[in-house]
Amino acid sequence: MALVSAKEMLQKAKAGHYAVGAFNINNLEWTKAILLTAEEQRSPVMLAVSEGAGKYMAGYKTVVGMVNGMLEELKITVPVALHLDHGSYAGAKACIEAGFSSIMFDGSSLPFEENVEKTKELVAICEEKGMSIEAEVGSIGGEEDGVIGMGECADPQECKKIADLGITMLAAGIGNIHGKYPANWKGLQFDVLDAIQQLTGDMPLVLHGGTGLPDDMVKKAINLGVSKINVNTECQLVFAEATRKYIEEGKDQQGKGYDPRKLLAPGFEAIKAKVKEKMEVFGSIGKAD
């Protein structure tokens, strides 16, 4: 199946009270692991690409070529959206041009009126191209690929204004943080999420910072309208751990254990297991059909 916009999968998720995972990709192994897991679990999925990861993978066109190639060669039949994560205005335009099926325009650090204007302009382009678009209000705490947020909670009235521009999904800061949660973290602000969902109605809401969130918080967030959950760091951690174990056990020095296809295999399997675990918690397994 060719790439799809995330609109239909997220509207179904919102109506069905589950969430679709948006997993960040960094290279071929990541992409293949996530696509194969989605196919095995019959789950819709979003492949998220930060601007830094896009650059690392030799540009957005390379990413589009790799993902489209895999969809065909691996015979992927579940719905897959290729999504720009925390895009700048220029990054969003470049991904639209390159053949992504979905973008996030993160105007959360701009003055609110400018966020509205730029989001509105990109909504019109995405509508014309049949692409989905995510906007952000408030900010996600911590740092991801150079995008730094102070973690301000979103103002529900501002969320409504942005939601009314015709976006597909809305990311709102509710105390969530990119990366590991610190020991003194106060938890998700469910009262803010509730207020946002009451004002934005059917709009699928996005929860960034999926790493390390306790399952009960994830489930409560889904009940309050979250339909897309972003996971990045957790896949990086299990990949690094599995690779370290392989090397520490000296396996790269046994036979042809140095072959990158062998060296990266434990990390690849670890990502597959982590993605499956997340899909189980999010409730998206079997929802592709």
Q: Is 232 in the site for ligand 13P (CB under 6 A)?
A: yes
**Orientation angle between helical segments 265-282 and 233-248, nearest 10 degrees:** 150
Q: Is 144 in the site for ligand 13P (CB under 6 A)?
A: yes
Scan for tokens 């994830």, then name that residue: 218
Q: Is 274 in the site for ligand 13P (CB under 6 A)?
A: no
* Closer Cβ to ligand 13P, 92 or 246, answer by number: 92
- 160: tokens are 């409504």
Q: Quick one: 159 or 246, whose CB is closer to ligand 13P?
A: 159
Burial of 260 (0-12, 13-18, 19+ CB in 10 A): exposed
Is 233 an interacting residue with respect to ligand 13P (CB under 6 A)?
A: yes
Determine the straight-line distance between the first and last CA of the chain, rounded to whole angstroms.
13
Stretch that binds ligand 13P, among 67-75, 122-130, 153-161, 209-217 (CB under 6 A): 209-217
Q: Which of 30, 102, 11, 18 is nearest to 60 (CA)?
A: 102
- Where helices occur in 76-223 by DSSP H, the ranges are 89-98, 112-129, 156-163, 190-200, 215-223
Q: Work out which of 211, 227, 243, 284 binds ligand 13P, going by CB under 6 A.
A: 211
Residue 102 or 246 with smaller CB distance to ligand 13P: 102
Only segment of 25-33, 115-123, 185-193, 230-238 that touches ligand 13P (CB under 6 A): 230-238
Interaction site with ligand 13P (CB under 6 A): 24, 85-86, 144, 178-179, 208-211, 230-234
